[in-house]
Structure 1
Amino acid sequence: MAGVPDRNYLLSVFQKVDKDRSGAIDALELQTALSNGNWTPFNPDTVRLMIGMFDKANKNVITFEDFIHLWKYVTDWQQVFRSFDRDNSNNINKEELKTCLTTFGYRFSEPFFDVLMQKFDRTRKGVIYFDDFIQCCIVLQMLTQAFAAQDVERRGVITVGYEQFLGMIFSTKL
């Protein structure tokens, strides 16, 4: 599904999930529009993160125009996910995650990949499903941006006090 689907199709999806006919959808409504590929609901934390990314008015809802952009975002991530799901299992194991994140330019140690698996493997089966994969990538991107803002010399090392560290984390829309 390259590009954005037909606007009329997206409008029909949007109207179907906009249960209260408010012209905007919240996280619960959006969750019903998204598919994980394994018959489980989309992770509410992932939905909340994406609402935060596309909610231009900061009201914890998205309009139809925001929804169009969010849909394309999810579709793009779906293509990325499928390209790294080498065994077509509808999940990403640790080796596939390592390949993916290394391709994205991240250089993490083996123990840190274990941390990522522990954090984003909600089912505790040694795999990450699509929604948690999106969440992992969003969180890494947001935290990397917060870090990079402090790493002005681009050395990969920063010195921050505890309060500054907390400010960096809490000001990040996680």
Structure 2
Amino acid sequence: MSQFATQLPPKEFLWDVFQKVDKDHSGFISANELQLALSNGTWAPFNAETVRLMIEMFDKQNRGEISFDDFGALWKYITDWQACFRSFDRDNSGNINKEEFQNALNTFGYRLSDPTIEVIVKKFDRLGKNVILFDDFIQACILLHKLTDAFRQHDQDQDGIITIQYEQFVGMVFSMKI
């Protein structure tokens, strides 16, 4: 996704945005506050699980919320994802269909079969229209990245094949922060 990197806006701009999102004026942004501030291109609230994952990624103090210092990195992260999403939304529909999603994953270096792509799209399709919205796109990509990292820890020769016992698999999945 580095090809979609954007510049960070001035600190004063970020501070203004931070203060507007920090509804309770605590000096931190909670998942609920962030969810209310974000838009996925529909009138539906931003996916709560995606918000939780992003808070977790940028919460350097492990408080379950982010400070202003963490906010700049989160802002850039979301802005970069927006640019990425828009570049793959070829028809400007505001969502990603199966072909657009597969193109995105191929660009990121994932080579997944059509049936696997269909399973992922179905998992993240909240509208029941065989498409993925912006917030769900972020979540799908984060999850795929984390699963890939966990898999690679066991794929010593990097051939895409691992042999693990059931309890190892369960431990691997449940120890992941997803």
How far apart in 2 are the matches of 1:81 and 1:50?
A: 16
**143, 148, 161: which is aligned to 2:147?**
143
Which consecutive segments of 4 or more residues in structure 1 shift more than 6 A?
none
Deviation at 1:139, TM superposition (A): 0.3
> TM-score normalised to the size of structure 2?
0.93
Q: CA deviation at 1:6?
A: 2.1
Q: Secondary structure at the match of 2:23?
A: coil
Residue pairs, 1:14-25, within 5 angstroms: 14-25=18-29
Paired position in structure 2 for 1:77: 81
In the other structure, the counterpart of 1:49 is 53
Paired residues in the alignment total 174
After TM superposition, give the deviation of residue 33 of structure 1 in Å: 2.0
Task: Write out aligned runs for 1:1-174 (5 A).
Answer: 2-174=6-178
CA distance in 2, matches of 1:108, 1:147: 15
- Identity rate, percent: 61
Give the Cα–Cα distance (whole angstroms) in 1 for the partners of residues 56 and 9 of structure 2. Answer: 22
The Cα RMSD (Å) is: 1.3
The AA in structure 1 aligned to 2:95 is N
Question: 1:163 and 1:25 mapped to 2: Cα distance?
Answer: 37
SS of 1:160's partner is coil
Give CA-to-partner distance per residue, 1:52-101, whole Å, 9 cap, x none: 11111222111111111011001001111000000011100001001110
Is the Cα contact below 8 Å between 1:13 and 1:33 reproduced in 2?
no
Instruction: Structure 2 unaligned segments of length 5 or more: list them.
Output: none
